[in-house]
Amino acid sequence: MKKPNQQPALHKVIMVGSGGVGKSALTLQFMYDEFVEDYEPTKADSYRKKVVLDGEEVQIDILDTAGQEDYAAIRDNYFRSGEGFLCVFSITEDDSFQATQEFREQILRVKNDENIPFLLVGNKSDLGEKRKVPLSEATGRAAQWGVPYVETSAKTRANVDKVFYDLMREIRSRKMEDNKPGNSRGKDKSKRKKLKCVIL
């Protein structure tokens, strides 16, 4: 029998997306309920705290990565450790939406897993009047990838908790699946990948 007071489960979340879309803003709003007006480009920030997920105490570890191209080379290393990804763009900036495609590809390449927990996040929903990315286009892309799409605002806190909790739930259910006996992670992953190939 396991000890009841074990260390709570740790879910590793990575924030990706172009510079200035609000990854850090989302993270800080989630972590500390604060909104930062001024823009300070991130290099790589690390956050971790305890939260209650569906009645169960867990730890969330957030790696807030750099959106600026200058730091693109170090991303590979960071992505490797991630268990789930929030891929953020700003609905007021079409370039940032286009860039999500590249991020998605890089993640799939590094993780080698089509079903990695992943949410497409359209941020700055409070700036509706400046919207450049139509909702239909974003939901279309999410559907094509087979991932959920959520619009957030780091400023008003709309949907901020939702994206983090939804992602943690996906990570958790993925882990439970992988932990099933006779389902070693590595083997499983390659199988998934292969299966996909066969279908294609």
Partner 1 sequence: MGPPPIVTGVSPKEGPPGTRVTVRGEFLGKSPTDLCGLTICGCDCLLSAEWKSSNKIIARSGPGKGRGEIVVTTRSGGKGTSTVEFRGYHEMIGPMKESAVWVEEAPLRKMWWGRRGLTPTTYQHDDPLGISIEGVEQKFPEDGLHKLFPGGSGDLSSENFAAGWFLLERHHATPFDDLRAGLAFLRRKVDGQKEGQLSFIKSNVGSVMEQLDTLAQLKERFEEDVEKQGQDPTIRLEGAIKESMSEANKLFEEVLSRRERADATRSALAVLQRFRFLFGLPGAIEKNIKKGDYDAVINDYARVMNLFGNTDVPVFKKVLAEVESRIVQLRDLLHRRLEEAPTSLEAQKKLIRNLVNLEVGGDPAWDAISCHSRHLTATMMQCKDSHIAQEQSALEDGGKTPKSSKNKSTSVPNQNTDWQACVPARVLLTEELADAISERFPDFWKLGQAYFTGELQVTVAPSRPQDFKKLVLAAISLFSGLLRAALMPHTLVRTPAAERASYGVWHSKGMEGLGPWLPHCLRALRQAYSSLIRLDLPSEALDIVASLIFDLRLHCMSTLLKQAGESVRQLHTQETWNIQFDGEHGGITHLPAECERVIAEALQLAKDSVLLSEHRETPLLESEVVQRDLNNLIQNMLLGFVEVLDKLALGSDAMAGDSPGVSQMIGSPAIYRVHGSDSVIDKGRGKDKESGPAWEVRLLSVLSNIEYTRSVLLPRIADLFARYQLPAQVGPLASVNKALTELDQRVLDAYLEQRSDPLVGTIEPSMYIGNFNWDAALKPADVRPYVKELLTNLISVHAEVHSISPGLVWRVLPQLVETVAEELARLMVCLDKKFNVHGTEQACADIAAIREAVKVYSTPTAEAFFDEALEAVPRLSDAQGKRNVESVLNNFRSRMKLQLMCFRDPKAPTVKNISNSV
Q: 86-125: which residues touch Mg ion (CB under 5 A)?
A: none
Is residue 163 close enough to count as binding partner 1 by CB under 8 A? no
Burial class (CB in 10 A: 0-12, 13-18, 19+), 125: buried
Span near Mg ion by CB under 5 A; candidates 20-28, 97-105, 140-148, 192-200: 20-28
CB atoms within 10 A of CB 109: 10
Q: At its nearest, how many Å lie between ligand GTP and the CB of residue 190?
A: 32
The correct pick among 51, 58, 110, 158 for binding partner 1 (CB under 8 A) is: 51
Count the site residues for partner 1 by CB under 8 A: 31
Say how far apart CA 56 and CA 6 lie, in whole Å.
12
Which range touches partner 1 (CB under 8 A), out of 54-62, 103-111, 142-150, 176-184?
A: 54-62
Contact call for residues 97 and 133 (beta carbons, < 8 A): yes
Neighbouring C-beta atoms of residue 141, cutoff 10 Å: 18
Does 73 help bind partner 1 (rule: CB under 8 A)?
Answer: yes
Give Cα separations from 183 to 7, 80, 179, 190 (angstroms): 24, 21, 7, 12
- C-beta atoms surrounding 105 within 10 Å: 10
Q: Does 67 bind ligand GTP (CB under 6 A)?
A: yes
Asked if residue 44 binds partner 1 (CB under 8 A), the reply is yes
Binding region for Mg ion (CB under 5 A): 23-24, 42
Binding region for partner 1 (CB under 8 A): 1-6, 24, 28, 31-34, 42-49, 51-57, 59, 63-64, 73
